[in-house]
Amino acid sequence: MRAAEITSYAATKINKNEPVSLEVLMRICQVFHCDIGDICEVILDED
């Protein structure tokens, strides 16, 4: 997470499957040279 300059707060949120900002996700993608779809998925509510 250091390479992506992610705070420990954001890293903890990721580990707990809590929401993080798009900026954080984009930094992770830049470090790993991947697309956001490689690290995220959309789960729709069944309302």
SS3 content of the chain, % helix, strand, coil (to 5): 50, 0, 50
pLDDT in tens, 1-47: 566 688 889 999 999 989 999 999 999 999 999 999 999 888 898 87
Domain that holds residue 28: 1-47
Task: Report pLDDT for 46.
Answer: 85
Q: What is the pLDDT of residue 38?
A: 95
Say how many domains are in the chain. Answer: 1
pLDDT of amino acid 43:
85
CA dihedral 13, 19, 10, 16 (to 10 degrees): 10
DSSP reduced 3-state for 2? coil
Strands (E) in the chain, as ranges, are none
Q: Is the dihedral of CA 6, 8, 12, 13 positive or negative?
A: negative
Q: What confidence score (pLDDT) does residue 45 get?
A: 86
Q: How much is the pTM?
A: 0.74
Whether the Cβ atoms of residue 6 and residue 28 lie closer than 8 Å to each other: yes
